[in-house]
A and B are shown apart, each in its own frame.
Chain A
Amino acid sequence: MAEMLLRIYAISKRFGGLLAVDKASFNVRPGRITALIGPNGAGKTTLFAIISGFLTPDEGRIVYDGADITGAAPHMLARRGIARTFQIVQPFAGLTVRENIAVGAHLARPNRVDALAAAGEVAYAVGLGTQLEQSAATLTVAGRKRLELARALATKPRLVLLDEVLAGLNPSEIRDMVPVIRKIADWGVTILMIEHVMQAVMTLAEQVLVLAEGRIIAEGSPQQVAADRQVIEAYLGHGAAARMISGAGHG
């Protein structure tokens, strides 16, 4: 078995009476794109918040690059090479695109001029090169998603957690964004992505994890997961798999 970059051991998180994540365990291999999918409310974003240090799990352990990082603060994790984007985009609205990205670039570059220059390079890589000097507040949804990505990449991460970077985009914007994500993986950055756009998951991900009601119910290649009985039931309801199979038999 290849050395894992990230290992999640039986993570649980409870909000009052709601068990948002229920003993979820999985591994992320380095240099791959792993997708985390699941119905709404399955606990995907909570899991991301735990991995990136914004929430502390009630139980379980997270091991990154051989070290236990459970409960470490977000900025410490960022320094170790874990970057994240936010599902609800969080631009620094009063700053320009370049200044936004420079905040990420400063992690490795204390000098202001260096960071601003590096921000320009990252912006071109994600397709924001022509909007560098414009205010982040003026970006479209697609532009803001790219900005999230650019800021995270500017920290020079080893692992990026992408929380629905394709959500809210139209089909042509998705077509533009998919190659950007693939390019990031080609640089050797490990990607763990939450995504609802199945077409993108099927083309990008090598490994798919399915979370439902806080538990990992399936994992494997996109094709394996798409054919999984439990996965179909989680999305379409109890008995759906049986109906689909019998429907296929009749047809």
Chain B
Amino acid sequence: MKTYLPIFVVVAVLALVPFVTASNVVLNFLVVTLLIALAGQGWNLLGGYGGQYSFGHAAFFGTGAYVTAILQVQYGINAWFGLLIGIAAGALVGIVIGALSFRWGLRGSYFSLVTLAFAEVLRIVASVAPITGAGVGTLIKLDLRPEAFQFQSRAPFYWIALGLVGLSLIVVRGIENSRFGAYLVAIRENEDAARALGVDTFSVKLAAMIVSAAITAAAGCFYAQYFLFLDAAIAYGTWISIDALLAPIVGGVGTLFGPLLGALIIKMLGESTKLVTGGAPGLDLAIYGLLLIAVVGLAPRGIAGLLSALVPRRFRPPSDPEHHHG
């Protein structure tokens, strides 16, 4: 239980925010940040822990979002139930993309490009398919009742987003402390060595893909309920694929709190860029690009890595490698 304590502390502290401020601007900012943190945690499990860099997590985000929305709009299915089905649908897309790409042994940049291609195919299909509303998009009817997963104020949305992030943190921490997690990290570090030690790399990567897809799909489901509008460029757009990978990389790739930390940083940076430049189109992406270069070049383990480097030496475990000659 001790290893879960930081999660409970962080979530409990963040849960107090709506009591401190009722500002819609602040809460809206934080909800979007949590949304990116959630999508990023999904990416982080597969990319950060498993070393499989996906450029197409929009495929899962968009599927979760569309399934939740379409089930309500076209079939009148309850949004809460739609959330669960949306997560399952995202996981299913994860199975398909994962099985196809890992079965054929795609690694490194080939895997990245294939995931990007899958997301793009889904985006193009969604932009013409009648069921998604094609070019017009899908509008979820305003129905401000908790039963319909819609709320008058931002605070409940905030707590739900925080709850989902907390859940994803618990899942990922659980994986960190398991054989599955150890195998996943072993695959990231050296796939052949892992195979020689009895790791079924295909199954482990596929399982990671499924959980990763489910987490990112949950972010998509939430997005649909929060904004009540989707079109292909939103649901399957590259913006979410980029945010989902940028947050963990900036925050600390393969670390538990990396996605949350990174999401906070990139969203703050994005907002301040908008304030300064008055929302010049594309400038936030240019800033992201510079940030990514800076992080990869100067702090490859992200902000979390920088922070742990600042921890005084005497608080570290014994037998520090730099002091050992033996």
Contact = CB atoms under 8 A, between A and B. Distances in A.
A92 B177 CA distance: 17
Q: Which of B177, B188, B189, B197 has the most CB of A within 10 A?
A: B197
Q: Which of A54, A90, A131, A155 has the most CB of B within 10 A?
A: A90
A102 B319 contact: no
Contact of A155 (B181, B185, B186, B198): B198
Interface string B144-185: 000000000000000000000000000000000111011101
B189 A94 contact: yes
Contact of B182 (A73, A93, A102, A132): A102
A54 B179 contact: no
Interface in B171-225: 177-179, 181-183, 185-186, 188-190, 192-201
Given A83-B196, A106-B182, A107-B197, A133 B190 contact: no
B76 interface: no
Nearest to B325: A140
Interface string A80-102: 00011010001111110001001
A99 B199 contact: no
Given A90-B190, A91-B190, A134-B319, A52 B179 contact: no
Contacts of A14: none
B312 interface: no
Contacts of B188: 94
B317 interface: yes
Contacts of A90: 190, 192-193
A134 B185 CA distance: 17
A78 B182 CA distance: 17
A115 B181 CA distance: 13
A110 interface: yes
Interface in A115-140: 115, 130-135, 138
A135 B321 contact: yes
A104 interface: yes
B322 to A, nearest CB: 8
Contact of B193 (A86, A109, A112): A86
Interface string A55-97: 0000000000000000001110011000110100011111100
A103 interface: yes
A86 B182 contact: no
Contacts of B177: 112
A151 interface: yes
B313 interface: no
B324 interface: yes
B326 interface: yes
Contacts of B278: none
Contacts of B185: 92, 94-95, 99
Contacts of A74: 195-196
A134 B192 contact: no
Contact of B324 (A75, A92, A131): A131
Contacts of A73: 195, 200
A75 B189 contact: no
Nearest to B201: A75
A84 B196 CA distance: 7
A109 B320 CA distance: 28
Given A95-B185, A103-B186, A151 B317 contact: no
B318 interface: yes
Contacts of A104: 197-198
Given A94-B189, A112-B178, A112-B182, A78 B198 contact: yes
A187 B115 CA distance: 48
Given A115-B179, A115-B182, A134-B324, A103 B194 contact: yes
A79 B198 CA distance: 6
Given A130-B319, A132-B319, A138-B321, A75 B195 contact: yes
Contacts of A83: 196-197
Contacts of A115: 179, 182
Contacts of A107: 197-198
Contacts of B182: 99, 102-103, 106, 112, 115
Contact of B189 (A93, A132, A134): A93
A133 B318 CA distance: 8
Interface string A135-158: 100100000000000011011000
A134 B316 CA distance: 12
Interface string A23-50: 0000000000000000000000000000
A189 B92 CA distance: 44
A150 B2 CA distance: 30
Q: Which of B181, B199, B320, B322 has the most CB of A within 10 A?
A: B199
Contacts of A132: 319
Nearest to A92: B189
Nearest to A112: B177
Contacts of B178: 112
Contacts of A86: 192-193, 196
Contacts of A52: 196
A28 B57 CA distance: 50
6 contacts: A54-B196, A75-B195, A83-B197, A106-B179, A106-B183, A134-B319
Given A86-B193, A109-B179, A131-B319, 5 more contacts: A75-B198, A112-B181, A135-B321, A138-B324, A151-B197
